[in-house]
A = this chain, B = another copy of it.
Amino acid sequence: MTKLSPLQIERLQYQPKLPSSLQNGVNSLELVEGSATQSVRDQEQIQKLFANTYGKPTVTFNSTSSSNSSEVKNVGVILSGGQAPGGHNVIAGLYDALKNANSQNKLYGFLGGPSGIIEGKYVEFTDEFINDYRNTGGFDIIGSGRTKLETEEQFKSSLEVCKKLNISAVVIIGGDDSNTNAALLAEWFVKNNTGIQVIGCPKTIDGDLKNEQIEISFGFDTATKTYAELIGNIQRDANSAKKYWHFIKIMGRSASHVALEAALQTQPNVTLISEEVEAKKMSLSSIIDYMSDIIARRANNGKNFGIAVIPEGLIEFIPEMGSMISNLNDIMATLESDSTFTSASSAEKFSIVESKLNAENAKVYSSLPALIKEQLLADRDPHGNVQVSKIETEKLLIEMISAKLSEMKKAGSFNGKFSAQSHFFGYEGRCAFPSNFDADYCYSLGYNAFALINFGLTGYLSSVRNLTQPADKWIAGGVPLTMMMNMEKRHGEMKPVIQKALVRLDGPVFKQLQDNREDWAMNDRYLFPGAVQYFGPSSVCDITTVTLQLERSKELASV
């Protein structure tokens, strides 16, 4: 028998909560249609590309007393992209709803992400198999992958596999790109009269898949709480030892939602927000000045310690860095296959690169520490871009601030000590046991996805709303995927994509940081969230993120 940790054993027993509308099962539902929808922008183009699935109404479900019987349906499910806590519960909810509708129904899991449906690699779920994964973290139940499902050939292969397994609906659990692909597949299946439906589920710890219809993607709650635990623990350490500045970079791709939420949960001394850096066109040196000033002022108060939270994507949002990186990507495309370059020493490589960059960008590149110069020349991603996640921005800032403070010391404007530690948190939070919120939310999303299937809908995203209320008051339904789309340039071509949500500088979440940051910088308002709790008082175990509470505060105020 597989050995399990004590928490694993207990969490397997947890019964996730459902919205009250879904509590009587899938066969006792009525569909309530809202009004027809349109895409957020570029309506004409999106409608043209999605001629068969565009403009559908939003829908919600009501529970009814009557019980309908339900035809036999086989469904396939795919995990797409990076891990997020709760993915297993989406599948468990989907499975339970499907079996609740008709015990003859089958759920297939495609292995290793979207490539599973193309290559026909799958498992059939059984009670025994699925029960081992309830309320656990990770995507290891069927694995995930990053194959983009978007070509005619891939769609045809997928159709063949679905036909073979008699699958009449596919659920794609993914982020904005994966759900864009879900919309394309849904459209293709309708256009070709296959009768196969496609439903998406909103997944990503990054929190950038949200809009008027989707309050939050799953995984954001657990991941940010896990990072906040670690930041809080380090704050307590810093405040006890009083000798280090900790620079903590937080995963989250381009958007700063994760860093911002973790900061609101912990109240560190400095929080950088990429979207603000870009909007204010802050140069690297102005960021260094801003942070050095806080460090120097704290030192004047006898505090040679502090905490700085840095979003993973920062570097690309600093205007001159973004420009230099883009120039560098072009240059590296040829240099990477040039043996004179590849066999050169680091110092020689730096000179070659500087001679090829345009003057302004060369100046920026040359100003960077050697470590960062090297990381900027490291392996490109498959699209030829530098992998910004591998640039140690936290160390870049430490090194440049350290130099700045030495200058300030000579000039008499810094009288303290500066000793720093760097951290990067990402992999620590993507596969944590889902919080009660994510366990419930994911289970509801999966359960609800089957309800959408059962009503014959396609091209919809499973939607569960009203999330700051207790689970029984959550509102289950669906949103047409095309409603969230617009046209954007990708690899030089205009493509229909789901809009990515960045941090809104005019929103209540950023405002909470803005209103408090001078206070948090100088006074120590550290909060210590501690480890995610699953069993204790509701105030500790069941509340969701600060972000969601602030964003939904209007609704909360009206309750």
Q: Which residues of A contact B (CB under 8 A)?
A: 3-11, 82-83, 112, 136-140, 143-144, 226, 229-230, 232-234, 236-237, 239-242, 246, 265, 267, 346-347, 370, 421, 423, 427-433, 525, 527-537, 539-541, 543
* Chain B: minimal CB distance from A232 (Å): 7
Which applies to chain A's interface (DSSP): helix, strand, loop or mixed? Answer: loop
What are 10 of the A-B contact pairs (CB < 8 Å)? A5-B265, A140-B240, A144-B241, A230-B230, A233-B427, A233-B428, A233-B431, A237-B431, A433-B528, A535-B536
Contacts of A6 in B (CB 8 A): 529, 537, 539-540, 543
* Chain B: minimal CB distance from A533 (Å): 6
The count of identical subunits is 2
| Contact A83/B240 with A528-B5, A536-B535, A540-B7 known, Cβ cut-off 8 Å | yes
Contacts of A429 in B (CB 8 A): 233
**Interface contact A533-B236, CB-CB below 8 Å:** no
**Interface contact B531-A5, CB-CB below 8 Å:** no
Contacts of A8 in B (CB 8 A): 527-528, 530
Once bound together, how far apart are the Cα atoms of A137 and B527, in whole Å?
A: 12
Once bound together, how far apart are the Cα atoms of A4 and B226, in whole Å?
A: 17
Once bound together, how far apart are the Cα atoms of A229 and B265, in whole Å?
A: 20
**Interface contact A533-B535, CB-CB below 8 Å:** yes
Pick the contact of A138 from B7, B240, B421 — CB < 8 Å? B240
**Interface contact B240-A7, CB-CB below 8 Å:** no
Residue on B with the closest CB to A142?
Answer: B240
**Interface contact B540-A237, CB-CB below 8 Å:** no
**Interface contact B233-A3, CB-CB below 8 Å:** no
**Interface contact A5-B537, CB-CB below 8 Å:** no
Contacts of A234 in B (CB 8 A): 427-428, 431
| Contact A139/B539 with A5-B527, A226-B233, A433-B528 known, Cβ cut-off 8 Å | no
* Chain B: minimal CB distance from A540 (Å): 4
Pick the contact of A83 from B7, B10, B237, B347 — CB < 8 Å? B237
Residue on B with the closest CB to A424?
Answer: B423
**Interface contact B5-A143, CB-CB below 8 Å:** no
- With contacts A6-B529, A234-B431, A347-B347 known, what are 19 further pairs, Cβ within 8 A? A6-B539, A7-B533, A10-B537, A83-B240, A136-B236, A136-B528, A137-B528, A138-B237, A138-B240, A233-B428, A233-B429, A233-B430, A233-B432, A237-B430, A423-B428, A433-B530, A533-B533, A534-B536, A535-B540
Most buried by B among A82, A232, A242, A246: A232
Once bound together, how far apart are the Cα atoms of A114 and B97, in whole Å?
A: 63
Contacts of A267 in B (CB 8 A): 3
Contacts of A232 in B (CB 8 A): 5
Once bound together, how far apart are the Cα atoms of A541 and B10, in whole Å?
A: 11
8 pairs of A and B residues whose beta carbons are closest in the complex: A535-B536, A531-B531, A236-B431, A138-B236, A7-B530, A139-B240, A237-B431, A6-B540
* Chain B: minimal CB distance from A164 (Å): 25
**Interface contact B528-A531, CB-CB below 8 Å:** no
Once bound together, how far apart are the Cα atoms of A427 and B543, in whole Å?
A: 27
Contacts of A531 in B (CB 8 A): 7, 226, 229, 432-433, 531-533
| Contact A140/B236 with A6-B543, A11-B530, A527-B3 known, Cβ cut-off 8 Å | yes
Residue on B with the closest CB to A345?
Answer: B347
* Chain B: minimal CB distance from A200 (Å): 20
Contacts of A236 in B (CB 8 A): 83, 136-138, 140, 431
**Interface contact B540-A10, CB-CB below 8 Å:** yes
Most buried by B among A347, A429, A528: A528
**Interface contact A537-B535, CB-CB below 8 Å:** yes
Contacts of A137 in B (CB 8 A): 233, 236, 528
Pick the contact of A242 from B143, B226, B230, B529 — CB < 8 Å? B143
| Contact A5/B233 with A536-B535, A539-B10 known, Cβ cut-off 8 Å | no
Once bound together, how far apart are the Cα atoms of A423 and B422, in whole Å?
A: 11
Contacts of A112 in B (CB 8 A): 242
Contacts of A9 in B (CB 8 A): 539
* Chain B: minimal CB distance from A115 (Å): 12
Contacts of A527 in B (CB 8 A): 3-5, 8
Most buried by B among A236, A430, A533: A236
**Interface contact A7-B431, CB-CB below 8 Å:** no
Contacts of A143 in B (CB 8 A): 240, 242
Once bound together, how far apart are the Cα atoms of A246 and B241, in whole Å?
A: 29
Contacts of A540 in B (CB 8 A): 6-7, 10, 535
